[in-house]
Structure formats: C-alpha cells, structure tokens
C-alpha cells in the first residue's frame, strides 16, 4: 500500500439523477466551435474542419447547483451551454458506428470562459489553458444514464436571470456525438470517467456577479449556478 507524502486529492464526481451513487470524473475534454452559428460569431469558418479539443481539470467541476465564484484576472466571463457525454467504457480507435456503446450517460454543462484571456492567447498564438481551465470553470448538472436518450436532436437552451441567451438544437452540431467520440479516441485512449463537452451554440455572452444561469438539454436535464 502506497504512503503519500501529502494527502491525495479528492476524486471529482458528478451526482447521478435519482441515485445516491456518483460518477467519478477522470478528465474533461471540450470540443471547440462545434455549432456553425457559434463559429461565425467567434469569427471562424463554420465548415467541417477536423474537430479540435482543449481540456479542463476534473476539479474544475461545480455540482449540485452550487455557486460559481467570479474568477480572478478577468473582466469578461462568458457562458457556453453544452451537452456533456460521460464515457463508461474506454477504448482507442473507436468506430463511429460503435461510439455510443461507450457512453455511460449525459448531463448539461457550462464551459465558463475568461474570454479576455482566451482572446489574448489567440492573438499571441499561446495556449488557451488559463482562459478555459481555471478553477470552478465547469458547472454541471446531474448525470442521467444513456439508455433511451438520442443525442442527435433536442432543444439546448440557456437562460440568464430568466432571459434566454442561447437556444438551438443538438441536430445543429457540426460533428455529432458519435463522430466526436470516434475522432477523439484516435487521438487519446478514452477511459471510464472521461467527460466530453460537445460544443456550444451561438449567443455566448458575458455574465456578472449575481447572475443566475439556468440551462437545459431536452431529454437530459438541467444545470444551474449563480455567479458570486
């Protein structure tokens, strides 16, 4: 039995709807610009360029409708509402036709972004890590098992203080959930506990302290947090 020189970190986990069990989270992968309208609003070409990815640390999770602290070093915190895929069976070089067999469940998530830091990193050709992977940057709702859920269609929407800011449909994903899983599995070996945030539709915008964010994905559930 290993003896650590410091206390090991707690395991990040998602609650499971209707269960006392939780889903341990290993890694959080995020797909960039996966809705055409969002690609356009970010100044990019919405054609089917190969998917690209960035990551958030597992301990960036904010769960159980907890508050999200406004992050330091930023004056432009943006919301990005997303469908999240939870991998239950790992693998590499997964075929598109087999991809959904590797999914344990789905949930709603927010890819919170320090847009000013991200934009500065883009201009200088530097990594986005501090714009995307900061503390508390991944609020997520309860996970639901995959059985009976069709990730190819359904309303995805975010309200800020009761006002709709993002609304679209999963059918508008440039790269579908099975395609994303397959593509990512050719870059890394996926493992149980990995999460994939599948991209955000148009309408991303800045939020302030005191704002309440409430998002839904039809047939999956919801996510809620308050910026403090």
| pLDDT of 197 above 70 | yes
**Pair of tokens at residue 39:** 């690609």
Are 113 and 227 a contacting pair, CB within 8 Å? no
> Which has the closest alpha carbon to 206: 184, 183, 227, 185?
227
Give tens-digit pLDDT for 8-31.
999 999 999 999 999 999 999 999
Q: Determine what percent of the chain is predicted with pLDDT higher than 70.
A: 96
Give tens-digit pLDDT for 125-170.
999 999 999 999 999 999 999 999 999 999 999 999 999 999 999 9
Domains in the chain, ordered, with CATH?
A: 13-226 (3.90.850.10)
């Amino acid at each position: 039995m290993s003896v650590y020189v410091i206390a090991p970190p707690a395991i990040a986990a998602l609650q499971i709807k209707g269960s006392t069990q939780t889903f341990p989270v290993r890694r959080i992968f995020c797909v960039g610009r996966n809705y055409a309208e969002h690609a356009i609003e970010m100044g990019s070409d919405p054609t089917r360029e190969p998917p690209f990815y960035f990551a958030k640390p597992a301990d960036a999770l904010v769960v159980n409708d907890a508050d999200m602290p406004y992050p330091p070093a930023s004056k432009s915190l943006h919301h990005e509402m997303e469908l999240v895929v939870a991998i239950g069976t790992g693998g590499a070089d997964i075929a598109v036709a087999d991809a959904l067999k590797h999914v344990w469940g789905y949930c709603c998530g927010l890819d919170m972004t320090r847009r000013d830091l991200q934009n500065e990193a883009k201009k200088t050709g530097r990594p986005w890590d501090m714009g995307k992977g900061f503390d508390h940057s991944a609020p997520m709702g309860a996970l639901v098992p995959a059985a009976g859920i069709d990730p190819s269609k359904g309303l995805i929407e975010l309200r800020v203080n009761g006002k709709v800011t993002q609304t679209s449909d999963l059918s508008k994903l440039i790269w579908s959930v099975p395609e994303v899983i397959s593509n990512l599995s050719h870059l890394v070996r996926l493992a149980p506990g990995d999460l994939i945030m599948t991209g955000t539709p148009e309408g991303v915008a800045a939020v302030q302290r005191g704002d309440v964010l409430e998002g839904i994905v039809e047939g999956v559930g919801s996510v809620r947090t308050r910026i403090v």
